[in-house]
Amino acid sequence: MADKLLLEDVRFYGQHGLTRAEQVVGAWFSVDVELAVDLSSAMVSDQVAATVDYGLVAKHAKTIVDSRNALKSRRTRGVFRL
């Protein structure tokens, strides 16, 4: 059974847009991340190493936000494998 972890309203500054001005000035982007992970080994072992590193998840989310192809509209939904 998968556990659900949520990272809500993770904000990144990016330089995206249709016009050159939007790309130069940039804007803040808000990302919600939902993870389906098995945390049973972490619960049994009580070891931090068996859990999810939120910093790495946020870093990967920023990589996706920084991708020009990921932001074709103001609201993008997608499933990405970590």
pLDDT per residue over 4-36, tens digit each? 989 999 998 887 777 888 778 888 888 888 888
Gap between the Cα atoms of 29 and 20, Å rounded: 18
Q: Mapping DSSP to helix (H, G, I), strand (E, B) and coil, where does residue 23 land?
A: helix
Confidence (pLDDT) at 18: 75
**Which residue type occupies 79?**
V
Does the global pTM surpass 0.75?
A: no
pLDDT band of residue 76 (cuts 50, 70, 90) is: low
For the chain, which residues make up each domain, given as ranges? 3-70
Q: What residues contact residue 41 under an 8 Å CB cut-off, 6+ apart? A: 50
Gap between the Cα atoms of 43 and 1, Å rounded: 13
- Is it true that domain 3-70 has CATH number 3.30.1130.10? yes
pLDDT band of residue 73 (cuts 50, 70, 90) is: very low
Confidence (pLDDT) at 74: 46
**Which residue type occupies 74?**
R
